[in-house]
Amino acid sequence: MNYMEQRITDSLKTNYMPYAMSVIISRAIPEIDGFKPSHRKLLYTMYKMGLLTGAKTKSANVVGQTMKLNPHGDGAIYETMVRLTRGNESLLHPLVDSKGNFGKVYSRDMAYAAARYTEVKLDPICQELFKNIDKDTVEFVDNYDGTLKEPTLLPVTFPSVLVNANQGIAVGMASNVASFNLGEVCDGEIAYLKDENCDITEYIEAPDFSTGGFLIYDKEQMKNVLETGRGSFKVRAKYTYDKKENLIEITEIPYSTAVEVIMDKIIEHIKAGKLKEIGDIRDETDKEGLKLTIELKRGTDPDALMLKLYKMTPLEDSFGCNFNILIDGKPEVMGVKTILEKWTEFRIGCIKRQTRYDISVKSEKLHLLNGLKKILLDIDKAIKIIRDTDDDGEVVPNLMKGFSIDETQAEFIAEIKLRNLNKKYIMNRLADIENLLKELDELNALLSDEKLIKKYMIDELTQIKKKHAKERKTILLKSDEVETFNAEEKIEDYNLKIYLTKQGYIKKIPLVSLRAGGEHKLKEGDKIQKEFDATNLGELLVFTDKCNVYKTKIYEIEDCKLSQMGEFLKSSLEMEKDEEVIDIFLAGDYKGHFVFAFENGKLAKIPLESYATKTNRKKLINAYSDGSKLIKILHITEDIDMVAYSNVGKILVFNTASVNAKTTRSSNGVQVMTLRKGATLKRISELERTRLKEPDYYRTKNIPAVGCFQKKDGEDDAGQIKMF
């Protein structure tokens, strides 16, 4: 078999790029009318089927007809329809009126019925999507096989791109447009039409979702989202408390999650013993709508529990905005005002095209009536010309000669029925000339004056708001007034002792329990490696041999007694199978430094604040350098004297002030002890913990230094370290 060599870049250009562009332009990203091609083809098919005013028809019928425009399988087309239906509740203003089971946007597992069982028609609001589409308001193109025409965009009379949520994942980019309240959007567009420099945030405050809930509103954060089209905000579930039954009923959840996801997370925490206040949880969603019921144990504060659930589960969830929209075939991420600007340009174009069409139609009608006016002078002559003409094909030319009219006018007169060739009929028709002239003057004025077009749009939007606007579903809660869960406020603080064993067990023993006495229970071959005082509200940093550090709150560790083995850190912190604990430290208020001593004689001094995180991360990778074997980690609150020992007997005393601090956790550090070939740093300790005599003999002011051999004259064991 012969293979032709081809550069990978050429292959990507010829094979992958066309696919990627097709996904971006023709599938995943919505356009300025608010629709992706799949939505537009489906809705236009339903419009042509007469489903705007007619009765509902089987969904399978619509799916089949849509295939004439959209060459996809029935499953994909039907799924597109499902999301647009009233029954699914995905949209603030559903575009498809539905009958039957279409699932729910807030349910992950509720399946929609097959297309043969459900019925649909267009919702009345769709009148605003197709208004005057037959007046050349938008471009039409051939469908995929050239047998039909379809619109490239719909001539929407309101900014539907902002009213209904839209999400899409393309190749190398994505789009996630939040939905906004129709009334607010109309007000914002009207304000923009009146003054392009207006502050849109005065009219459009924040997104509004079909699933309701509470949006935690931070003015600066939301302003950034509205101005840039990027950013995120949080939405909370809405609940009521039934005091009589002692249960919480959740009736609205964030748009970005599902009731089953919430239940799974709550059950997970219940099993882990983190939600002991909950007796039972069940999904009681029915025809009336969503209802997630949580039974409380006696004495539970429902509001405090909900604050805890907001923090621990998707009952409070983030919505990430990415207002990426196709403008003339190019994807652009835009703020709300820019979207309104682009939509205004599009809508003005639609109105101009519609006006030109109306001018053309009315001008043609006027032209015909002007011809009719001429035969009013002598109806008998017109009848005589027709009667005296021998050949049918000569009627029009003879009328043209007899009345000095053109072929179109003559053709129109020739087609008038004999019964209508009376003076009264003709006079009535001629009365329309004055009205047509007036209408044409108005249309020409509209076409030439953009101010009149904007007034026309304002009148349209005012009527749309009056007819279709609804109350906001998602209530705004100011962020500075929102109560949040603080675990430490709910947890008792007390003094305790922490013990770490060689094999990685941690014992958290309250001092009250410690006073009771007894012997440590340890695993066979295990021993206590470290012990220190702490409080229940402290935080631990757990270093491992994989250059990771795990952060854990002390209150998350179960209390134990001397007679218990304690908690196995490897399991509780979900470490890797071959990962082992090296040392643990109190984080405190993240003051001071960690000193990392490595076998190659280098020391890294890293501020504790480098391990502090704004988010509640449990694991930090690259916690220290892996350039050389780690010998020891020390925590210092101020610079101190330290003693370094090499494996060839050299001793070096230095002060940590000579080691510059590095903010990068994985820094290799600086050379402190100069080591000859084959020599390594064996251990390091604080000077005050050693019995080293005459430390100044081994001291250096400048690093790196080689150190000195131990003095022989009656020197105690320099390497002996005081026990603590």
Is the bond preceding residue 704 a cis peptide, omega within 30 degrees?
A: yes
- Six-digit token string for 409: 């006018």
250 by Cβ neighbours in 10 Å (0-12 / 13-18 / 19+) ranks as buried
Residue with tokens 């589960």: 313
What per-residue confidence (pLDDT) applies to 316? 94
Task: Give me the domain span that covers residue 395.
Answer: 345-467
What per-residue confidence (pLDDT) applies to 326? 94
Number of other CB atoms surrounding residue 640 within 10 Å: 14
What per-residue confidence (pLDDT) applies to 724? 25
pLDDT at 401 over 90: no
Considering the domain architecture, whether residues 603 and 572 belong to the same structural domain is answered as: no
SS3 720: coil
What per-residue confidence (pLDDT) applies to 30? 94
Answer whether residue 484 is part of any domain: no
Last residue of a domain, one of 467, 501, 519: 467
Q: pLDDT tens across 289-328, in order?
A: 999 999 999 888 899 899 999 999 999 999 999 999 999 9
Answer whether residue 216 is part of any domain: no
Mean pLDDT, rounded, of the chain: 90
- Six-digit token string for 42: 């489906």
Q: What are phi and psi of 296, to 5 degrees?
A: -100, 150
What per-residue confidence (pLDDT) applies to 485? 63
Considering the domain architecture, whether residues 145 and 269 belong to the same structural domain is answered as: no
Considering the domain architecture, whether residues 424 and 527 belong to the same structural domain is answered as: no
Last residue of a domain, one of 115, 135, 155: 155
What per-residue confidence (pLDDT) applies to 623? 94
Considering the domain architecture, whether residues 567 and 599 belong to the same structural domain is answered as: no
Answer whether residue 200 is part of any domain: no
Q: What is the DSSP string of 106-141?
A: T-SS-PPPPTTT-EEEE-GGGHHHHTTGGGT-S-EE
Element (H, E) at 381: helix 379-388
Q: How confident is the model at residue 513 (pLDDT cuts 50, 70, 90)?
A: confident
Residue with tokens 């020390």: 634
What per-residue confidence (pLDDT) applies to 46? 97
Considering the domain architecture, whether residues 608 and 704 belong to the same structural domain is answered as: yes
Q: pLDDT tens across 416-473, in order?
A: 887 777 777 777 877 888 889 999 999 999 999 999 999 999 999 999 999 999 999 9
What per-residue confidence (pLDDT) applies to 720? 41
Indicate the pairing of strand 505-510 with strand 495-501.
antiparallel
The dihedral built from the CA positions of residue 87, 91, 97 and 102, taken in this order, carries a sign that is: negative
Considering the domain architecture, whether residues 352 and 427 belong to the same structural domain is answered as: yes
* Choice among 3, 78, 106, 117 that is catalytic: 117
pLDDT at 56 over 50: yes
Considering the domain architecture, whether residues 654 and 706 belong to the same structural domain is answered as: yes
Distance of CA 656 to the CA centre of its chain: 48
Cβ 156 vs Cβ 128: under 8 Å: yes
Answer whether residue 8 is part of any domain: no
Q: How confident is the model at residue 486 (pLDDT cuts 50, 70, 90)?
A: low
pLDDT at 370 over 50: yes
Cβ 558 vs Cβ 566: under 8 Å: no
What per-residue confidence (pLDDT) applies to 715? 44
Q: pLDDT tens across 338-355, in order?
A: 999 999 999 999 999 999
Please state which of the ranges 210-214, 319-323, 417-421, 539-543 shows the lowest mean pLDDT: 417-421
d(CA 382, CA 402): 8
Distance of CA 245 to the CA centre of its chain: 37
C-alpha dist (Å) from residue 660 to 508, 593, 688: 35, 11, 22
Cβ 119 vs Cβ 104: under 8 Å: no
SS3 596: strand
Considering the domain architecture, whether residues 633 and 539 belong to the same structural domain is answered as: no
Identify the CATH number of the domain in which residue 621 sits: 2.120.10.90
User: At residue 376, what is the residue type?
Assistant: L
Answer whether residue 453 is part of any domain: yes
C-alpha dist (Å) from residue 294 to 87, 306, 424: 26, 10, 80
Q: Which residues contact 169 (CB under 8 A, 6 or more apart)?
A: 28
- Six-digit token string for 711: 């003095």
Q: What are phi and psi of 139, to 5 degrees?
A: -70, 145
Residue with tokens 């190749």: 171
Answer whether residue 194 is part of any domain: no
Residue with tokens 């930090």: 620
What's the rounded mean pLDDT across residues 662-691?
91
Considering the domain architecture, whether residues 575 and 644 belong to the same structural domain is answered as: no
Q: pLDDT tens across 123-153, in order?
A: 999 999 999 999 999 999 999 999 999 999 9
Q: How confident is the model at residue 4 (pLDDT cuts 50, 70, 90)?
A: low
Q: What are phi and psi of 426, to 5 degrees?
A: -65, -40
What's the rounded mean pLDDT across residues 182-210?
95
Considering the domain architecture, whether residues 424 and 519 belong to the same structural domain is answered as: no
Cβ 709 vs Cβ 651: under 8 Å: yes
Considering the domain architecture, whether residues 556 and 605 belong to the same structural domain is answered as: no
Number of other CB atoms surrounding residue 664 within 10 Å: 11
d(CA 666, CA 668): 6
Q: What are phi and psi of 151, to 5 degrees?
A: -75, 145
637 by Cβ neighbours in 10 Å (0-12 / 13-18 / 19+) ranks as exposed
Q: How confident is the model at residue 26 (pLDDT cuts 50, 70, 90)?
A: confident
What per-residue confidence (pLDDT) applies to 487? 58
Q: How confident is the model at residue 660 (pLDDT cuts 50, 70, 90)?
A: very high
Answer whether residue 6 is part of any domain: no
Q: What is the DSSP string of 516-553?
A: T-------TT--EEEEEEEETT-EEEEEETTS-EEEEE
Considering the domain architecture, whether residues 595 and 718 belong to the same structural domain is answered as: yes
Strand partners, 591: none
What per-residue confidence (pLDDT) applies to 718? 43
What per-residue confidence (pLDDT) applies to 480? 78
What per-residue confidence (pLDDT) applies to 334? 95
Indicate the pairing of strand 475-478 with strand 214-217.
parallel
Q: Is 555 a catalytic residue?
A: no
Percent of the chain with pLDDT over 70: 97
Identify the CATH number of the domain in which residue 349 sits: 1.10.268.10
Domain count, the chain: 5
710 secondary structure, DSSP code: P
Answer whether residue 11 is part of any domain: no
pLDDT at 521 over 80: yes
Last residue of a domain, one of 554, 581, 608: 581
Cβ 234 vs Cβ 317: under 8 Å: yes
Q: How confident is the model at residue 714 (pLDDT cuts 50, 70, 90)?
A: very low
Number of other CB atoms surrounding residue 479 within 10 Å: 17
What's the rounded mean pLDDT across residues 354-377?
89
Q: What is the DSSP string of 563-586?
A: TS--EEHHHHTT--TT--EEEEEE
What's the rounded mean pLDDT across residues 169-192?
93
Cβ 464 vs Cβ 186: under 8 Å: yes
SS3 212: coil
Rounded to the nearest 10°, the torsion over CA 477, 479, 481, 483 is 100
